[in-house]
A = this chain, B = another copy of it.
Amino acid sequence: MTTEPLSRARIVAAAIDLIEREGADAVSMRRIAAELGVGVMSLYNHVPNKDALLSGVAEAVMSGIEFTDDPDAHWSDRVRMQARAFRQIAHHYPRSTMLVVSRTLHSSAGLLPVERALATLRSAGFDGVDAVRMLRMFIAFIVGSLLREVGVTPSFAPPQPRSVDAEQVDETLFPHVSELAPLLGRCDHEAEFEFGVEMLISAIAAHPAREEGAR
Known interface pairs A143-B147, A183-B132, A192-B136. Does A152 touch B104 (Cβ–Cβ under 8 Å)? yes
Known interface pairs A101-B147, A199-B200. Does A177 touch B111 (Cβ–Cβ under 8 Å)? yes
Contact pick for A203, options B132, B192, B203, CB 8 Å:
B203
CB of A163 within 8 Å of the partner chain: yes
Copies of the protein in its oligomer = 2
CB of A43 within 8 Å of the partner chain: no
Which interface class (under 10, 10 to 19, 20 to 34, 35 or more) fits A? 35 or more
Selected interface stretch from A59-67, A69-77, A88-96, A112-120: A112-120
CA distance A141 to B183 in the complex (A): 20
Which of chain B's residues have a CB closer than 8 A to the CB of A202?
A: 203, 206
CA distance A93 to B177 in the complex (A): 27
